[in-house]
Structure 1
Amino acid sequence: MIVSGSTSQQLAAALAAELGEDLARVEYERFPDGEQMVRVPPVEGRAVVVCSTTTDAAHVELLQLQDAVREAGAEEVVTVIPYMGYARQDEAFEPGQPVSARAMARAISTVTDHVVTVNAHETGVCDFFDVPTTNVDAAPRLADPLPDDLHDPVFLSPDASAVSLAESVRAEYGPGEVDYFEKTRHSGTDVEIEPSETDVAGRDVVVVDDIIATGSTMSEAIAHLDDPARVFVTCVHPLLARNARLKLAEAGVEDVYGTDTIERAVSDVSAAQPVARVLEE
């Protein structure tokens, strides 16, 4: 049975259809004092809890869902975290600070048998869980919504460390070249951003990232492109906080495509297929 958190209803429905499993009718409540409560139907066998932890409230809801399905009779609990909040806090940056990703992972591990993440921002966070954890790559799905007529495309990642994302999308799309933005820091406030080698003039550019949060860095990078024909932005996790979409439009981005790990207007493709493959193993 697929059991959805309130943040992941679209993906949970797609996953249930992909696997041919029942989709639980979950009820979400909030008491007058602000506390949350969930209610799930009886469960037999395996329960797959699907919940993106985009907020602190979503973290609490995930823990409640895990406990609820155990109470409802689940013999096995698999927790799918399409987007893992706090994953970027994977170390203590200053003395006295927590390793927040570890704290969240330990809490989630207490009532589950297996965790599945999707393109965790830092794959090392998977080691924080106390149960077997699989990190799924949904980046190839981002090739599907791209126009079929891209002209001599260049697939760019935000930096060299993320170039594998761009390679995944290009490999799925077909033709194209892969490059990355090169950042040169001249001072604490002066950062030069430009494609490392490839000439993009007159060519279609596809920028590929795992997360778009505020859109500031990406829009700044796009502004440094030298006369591209069209610019498209793809990301696995379209957080798009505040006015991120406006920033990208102002930078000249023609369209933005994301997956349903975070449900937004730009969630054009589903991560259900790669997640389903792991659950079928």
Structure 2
Amino acid sequence: MILSGRHSQSIAAALARELDEPLAPVAFDRFPDGELMASIGQASGERAVVVASTPTSDAHLELLQLQDAAREAGFEEVVTVLPYMGYARQDRAFEAGEPVSARAVARAISTGADRVITVDPHEEAVCDFFEPSATAVTAADRLAEPLPEDLTDPLYLSPDAGAIELAETVRNAAGGGEVDYFEKTRHSGSDVEVTPSDAAVEGRDVVVVDDIIATGSTMSEAVGVLDERGAADVYVTCVHPLLASNAVTKLSRAGVAAIYGTDTIERPQSEVSAAPAIADALDRN
């Protein structure tokens, strides 16, 4: 049975269709003092699959409650699926005295799960923070689907050399093109400078591929440089379209033709579903 978190209703429904499993009657409430309550009604069965992205602190708490409710209901196995794992980008202490937040939330989630599956974590090493280790799956290949079929001499750019496999995955799924990456300079935990490489872009369609777009600030600056260098259309694709605050406006002002993401985070830009990749991982075990 599929138990959906508040922020993962679309992907939970898609996963239920992929697996031909029912959706539990999950309900969410808040007490007068502000405390949250996530309940699953009369759900029961052998396996509970809790599908819950955690883009907010409240979402983390709701996930823990759903796990506990599944145990209370008597499910024999509880599998937790994190389409988007919040706090995963803080996988180390950038300054003295800081927590490793990814480790902290992974430990909490592990206490209520027999297995954990997550989609394209920012650093796959965060999977080792779970006990037992989480399984990472990729939905990057799905990002090729909404791209135009007639791209002109396409160039696929990743945000840095470490993420070039994402760009290669989208390129391969789309059917061809050149792959390169941006030069990224991190000045602090929150201050990152991204500039395009020296790859020729004039007259070419460019597809920027990232795992997550949060505020869009550094990305919009880099896209602006692509525009100045004479790129044709620039498309931005990401697995996790967090797109906080005015990120969409920033990217549009920079000259982006379209933004495409998956449903790991539910946004208007969530053009494709990561559910098939998750279903494959569930079926393998």
What is the TM-score normalised by the length of structure 2? 0.94
Change (3 A) 1:257 1:129: same
1:126 matched to 2:123: no
Task: Output one character per residue of 1:181-210: Cα deviation in whole Å (capped at 9) or x when no partner.
Answer: 124799xx99572224x2111111100000
Change (3 A) 1:67 1:273: same
Which runs of 5 or more residues in structure 2 are unaligned?
none
Amino acid at match of 2:224: A
Aligned to 2:27: 27
1:243 matched to 2:243: no
Aligned to 2:16: 16
Q: 1: distance between equivalents of 2:143 and 2:164?
A: 15
Q: 2: distance between equivalents of 1:7 and 1:181?
A: 31
Q: 2: distance between equivalents of 1:204 and 1:57?
A: 40
Aligned to 1:83: 84
Count of equivalent residues: 278
Task: Output one character per residue of 1:4-27: Cα deviation in whole Å (capped at 9) or x when no partner.
Answer: 000100000000001111111101
Task: Output one character per residue of 1:99-122: Cα deviation in whole Å (capped at 9) or x when no partner.
Answer: 111110001000110000100001
Farther off after superposition, 216-225 or 264-273: 216-225
- Superposed counterparts of 1:115-154, under 5 Å: 115-154=116-155
Farther off after superposition, 30-39 or 94-103: 94-103
- Specify the SS of the correspondent of 1:256: strand
Which runs of 5 or more residues in structure 1 are unaligned?
none
- Specify the SS of the correspondent of 1:64: helix
Q: 2:234 aligns with which of 231, 254, 259?
A: 231
Conservation of the 8 A alpha-carbon contact between 1:126 and 1:133: yes
Q: 1:195 aligns with which of 183, 197, 207?
A: 197
How far residue 93 of structure 1 moved from its aligned partner, in angstroms, is: 2.0
Q: 2: distance between equivalents of 1:191 and 1:262?
A: 25
How far residue 155 of structure 1 moved from its aligned partner, in angstroms, is: 0.5
Task: Output one character per residue of 1:156-204: Cα deviation in whole Å (capped at 9) or x when no partner.
Answer: 1111111110000000000211111124799xx99572224x2111111
- Superposed counterparts of 1:54-69, under 5 Å: 54-69=55-70
Conservation of the 8 A alpha-carbon contact between 1:113 and 1:132: no
Conservation of the 8 A alpha-carbon contact between 1:112 and 1:131: no
Q: 2: distance between equivalents of 1:50 and 1:185?
A: 33
Amino acid at match of 2:6: S
Q: 2:271 aligns with which of 268, 273, 276?
A: 268
Amino acid at match of 2:239: V
Aligned to 2:210: 209
Q: 2: distance between equivalents of 1:192 and 1:51?
A: 31
Q: 2: distance between equivalents of 1:191 and 1:173?
A: 28
What is the TM-score normalised by the length of structure 1? 0.96
Q: 1: distance between equivalents of 2:192 and 2:278?
A: 41
Q: 2: distance between equivalents of 1:184 and 1:115?
A: 32
Q: 2: distance between equivalents of 1:16 and 1:267?
A: 18
Give the alignment's Cα RMSD to 1 decimal: 1.6
